[in-house]
Amino acid sequence: MLLTEAVEALVTQADGIYVDGTFGRGGHARAILGKLSPAGRLVAFDKDPQAVAAAAEITDPRLSMCHASFADMAHELSALGITQVQGVLLDLGVSSPQIDDPARGFSFRFDAPLDMRMDTTRGETAAQFLERAELGEIAEVIRDYGEERFAVSIAKALVARREGGAPVRSTAELSALVARAVKTREPGQDPATRTFQALRIHVNAELEALQQGLKAALDLLAPQGRLVVISFHSLEDRIVKTFIARESRDEVDRRAPFAPPRPMRLVSLGRVKPDYREIAANPRARSAVLRVAERTDVTT
C-alpha cells in the first residue's frame, strides 16, 4: 500500500544505507533495492518468523535481515557496524499474509486458535491474556486500543464465560461473544473489528514499539535522511503525527528556562493518502496514511 509513494520519498541517495522496519513479504524491500546502487545497503526487520523465512528468497547481498522488532533497530544496526542511515521506513500494523493465514488468529473471518502474536516464538497469546487478566484490564485494553465504547460489556461477557469454565480460546468464539455484547455498530463494520484490533495491539505491544522505533530512527538518521511511516488507524497515526510535530520545533526545557532551546531535528514533508484506484484494488488501503519527515542538519 502506497508502495511507490513511500519508496520515492525514502530513497534520496542510491548509495545510502536504509532500514525497512517491517519486511512483511518484501514488497517494499524489493522496491528499495531496485532504487539502490551496487554500493547501497538495506537492513530489514521483522518479528514474524515467516517473514524472516520469506526474506531468504532474496539473494541480493545488499540486504541484511534481522529477526527483531524495529524498536530494537539501534542495537541490531550497531552489531552490524552501522551508526547512521539515510532513511527508515515503517509500514505499521498487521500484514495481509498474517491476516489471511487462519492459523495466526488475527481475523474473525476464520475459526482458529486465538493467537495474534506477530512473533510466534515468544510471548503471551490473546487467549492466554483473556484467560488470566482482570475485568478492568481487559476493558481498558479494548477501550484504549480499540476505541470501543462497549468495552466494559465485552469484558464482562469474557469474564463471565471464563468463570463459567469456558474461556474464549478461538477467533469464532470471540467474534460471537462480541456480536452479542455490542448493541450497535457502524454500517459495514463487523462488531468484532475493534476488539480484535485492540487485542492484537496489546499482545504485540505495538504502540510502545512504535514510540521506541520512532525515537531510534530519529537518532540514527543522517542529515537530510528521511523518516517514512505508513499507518492504518488513528492511534498509530496520532503517535506519528505528534512525534513529527514535536521534533519539528525548537523545544525549551522547562526545568532550565534560561538554557538555549533544543533545536528542531525534523522537518515535516507532509502526508499522502491512497487514491481511489489503490482503494478500489485493495480496500484495506482506505485507512492508510503516509507521513514523511526529513532530518535537519542539527546533530545534537
CATH number of 258's domain: 3.40.50.150
Cβ atoms of residues 290 and 232 within 8 Å:
no
Q: Which domain holds residue 16?
A: 3-96+206-295
Cβ atoms of residues 297 and 223 within 8 Å:
yes
Instruction: Report residue 275's pLDDT band, with 50, 70 and 90 as the boundaries.
Output: confident
Question: What local confidence, expressed as pLDDT, does residue 101 receive?
Answer: 87
Q: 113 in a domain, yes or no?
A: no
Report the number of distinct structural domains present in the chain.
2
CATH of the domain at 128: 1.10.150.170
Residues 198, 212 share a domain:
no
Distance spanning both ends of the chain, measured CA to CA:
34
Residues 221, 189 share a domain:
no
Residues 17, 88 share a domain:
yes
Please say which residue of 151, 168, 203 terminates a domain. 203
Q: Is the dihedral of CA 290, 79, 12, 48 positive or negative?
A: negative
Residues 280, 246 share a domain:
yes
Please say which residue of 203, 221, 242 terminates a domain. 203
pLDDT tens-digit readout, 199-253:
999 999 999 999 999 999 999 999 999 999 999 999 999 999 999 999 998 766 5
Q: 82 in a domain, yes or no?
A: yes
Selected residue with higher pLDDT from 257 and 142: 142
Residues 225, 194 share a domain:
no
pLDDT tens-digit readout, 128-150:
999 999 999 999 999 999 999 99
| Residue 169 Ramachandran class (φ > 0 left, ψ -120 to 50 alpha, else beta) | alpha
Residues 158, 210 share a domain:
no
Residues 244, 232 share a domain:
yes
Q: 300 in a domain, yes or no?
A: no
Q: 151 in a domain, yes or no?
A: yes
Residues 197, 68 share a domain:
no
Q: Which residues are CB-neighbours of 187 under 8 A, at least 6 positions away?
A: none
Residues 132, 86 share a domain:
no
Q: 102 in a domain, yes or no?
A: no
Residues 222, 199 share a domain:
no
Q: 101 in a domain, yes or no?
A: no
Please say which residue of 170, 186, 203 terminates a domain. 203
Give this prediction's pTM. Answer: 0.90
- The span from the CA of 181 to the CA of 200, in Å, is 19
Question: What local confidence, expressed as pLDDT, does residue 165 receive?
Answer: 96
Angle at the Cα of 72 from the Cα atoms of 294 and 83, rounded to 5 degrees: 55
Residues 92, 9 share a domain:
yes
Residues 127, 90 share a domain:
no
Q: 104 in a domain, yes or no?
A: no
Q: 286 in a domain, yes or no?
A: yes
